[in-house]
Chains A and B, each alone.
Chain A
Amino acid sequence: MSLLRRALWGLLLVVAAGCRSEPPPDGITVLVEAPPDSLDGRFALTAIGQRMVQLIAPGLLTFDDTSRPVPELAESFRALSPTLVEFTLRPGLTFHDGTALTSEDVKATYDGVRSKALQSPKVDRYAPVEEVEVVDDRTVRFHLRGAYAPLLAELSLSIIPAERAGLDGVALQASHPVGAGAFRFESQPDEEHLTLVPFEGYHLGPPAIPRLYFRVVRDETTRVLELLKGRADLVTNAVSPAVLPLLRKQPGLRVLVRPGTGYAYLGFNLRPGPLADVRVRQAVCHLLEVKPLAEHKFHGLAEPATSMIPATHWAYTPGEGCRYNPAEAARLLDEAGYGDPDGPGGLPRLRLSLKVSTDRFRKSVALVLQEQLARGGIAVEVRSLEFGTLFNDIRRGNFEMVTLKWASVIEPDLMRNVYHSSNVPTEENHWGGLNRGALMDPELDALLEEASQVELSERKAAYARVGARLEELLPYAPLWHESSVAVVSRRLEGFEPSAHNFISSLARARKVGP
């Protein structure tokens, strides 16, 4: 046997010896689709960044599945007046570095994020806060410039040690974050990996999971294959509905579903054009069959929406949504001057364009909408654009219809940003503002302002009035609320998915088996 052949056999033997199944790591592995933008809560804007930050450094409040603020580091909170909110911290709170968490840290965190020097993207959210006052070690008060009920939604910002709250603490907090959360930062060797360990001093007791590994796996197929191989324990909202039936059949996996707070809609441009006429918008709405779309495209993992607010939300009031009624749609179009030129079929009554991102799934949904509207005589041209271009077009009002979604609707005051006439993007405000369809309605403006100022107990009624007015104006055709889906391995017990895709229940979950 030649030397070369002998060397080849040797190599093969080594490879074969190495080819054995690896035991899974000693903790729980969570796969995410992109790295966190920041581990510092004052800078984290992406859902992934914010979810990780919550585990390391939670805030005074968090939100339950009905989107109601509930105490986290705070033990309780109460409004002393419309412009003054008082928080009492839980007793004996400590940071991961062993120092005590007091009202001073809360004040320093909020003063820091509000300072222009820090350049936090969240600075504007705290504009309504005039001052944060320390009453004693466990009591802190927020003085507001005016009545502003949505403030509570912003008080989930992670609390960090006072010495890191300024500009000179930013680099340290980003690279080695410290907080009072259930898990302590252990290492982040590169952007693709993050390891957390249980914090012994966590106020609800140390988590039972021995170690938490986050791994970035960008490719959806690879995430699914890692789950099938048993090398991943948790993937939340990063697997398409079409794959879930396969995963449900796996003995080693469970698929957990919870109604979600994301909101998908068909947005109209109300600037001069056919859609400026509310009858045309109503006709479009009556031609949509949302229920079968939700059932087939999402395999039942989406609920038809009647408004931005999902049925599980504290501010929800039942509404009409888009009821399928082609006869009514035809009547409305006739009335609006878009009669059928040559009877059913043939030439369309009206031509519109629909812009959508390049995401394959979103595109396929747009094609179904196109088909549904075509049946009612509205010819729709679907244009799929790269996100940068799409976003630019929408901001500049360069669209007729668009399908987009709000990732998570927690605070209904989002409606003021989206529908108030002062938030129309224009050249003067450099195309800022979220009222991209240019809805202008003084009555709605007044209702939205009222809802942001009334006391907590009156807000639900105020948003019911907002909802009723929106149904008349129809600036968006509501589509659906996508469910929150977690694929969990049998090794991970006690994990509860959240309506907002939070993963904070990992603090109460445990690892079983090998």
Chain B
Amino acid sequence: MTRRHKPMVQRLVALARRIAPQERRSWFEAMLAEIDHVPRAERMPFAVGCLLAGCRERLASPYFLQAVTRSLLIAGAAFWAALNIRFAGRMSVSDAFALEAYGYGMALLFVIGALATAYFGNRATIGLAAPLLAVLAATAAFLRLGSAPTAMSNLYLALIVENIAVLGLALVVAKAAAHFATVRQALR
């Protein structure tokens, strides 16, 4: 029993060390060393506590927050690009060339955004989404105020507003992540 128990607790603390962010590893080395000095009966709860501490440190790490938001933004952009491609495909069936081109164009922009975010991080989202948002907002304003409303212009307006909402959300997520990462970094 004891022979099996000891490696188990050590494995748990070693797992905690692996879960913990790189800059905290030495603390988990300390916990691993401490295990030998904890009475046998208390080793398992001690190790479970270390595992929870590892998870807690991982969640509190600004790098983890950045990685999670980066993955979220990439997945979101890819999903939105896929929906735009689906929309463009449907428009090609009804010979609406301009709408088809708009769909593929937006899909391309979101794919570029996803790739840029993957390579350069959340700041790429902010750098790309902000100007695109401004261009789309100006176009929407022109469609709404600069021309007489028609069924087609209303459709374009709806599509643009949809993209503005998605880009705005991405921008808020990226900015909030950058802000929280800065605050957490300052607190460490």
Q: Do A and B come from one complex?
A: no
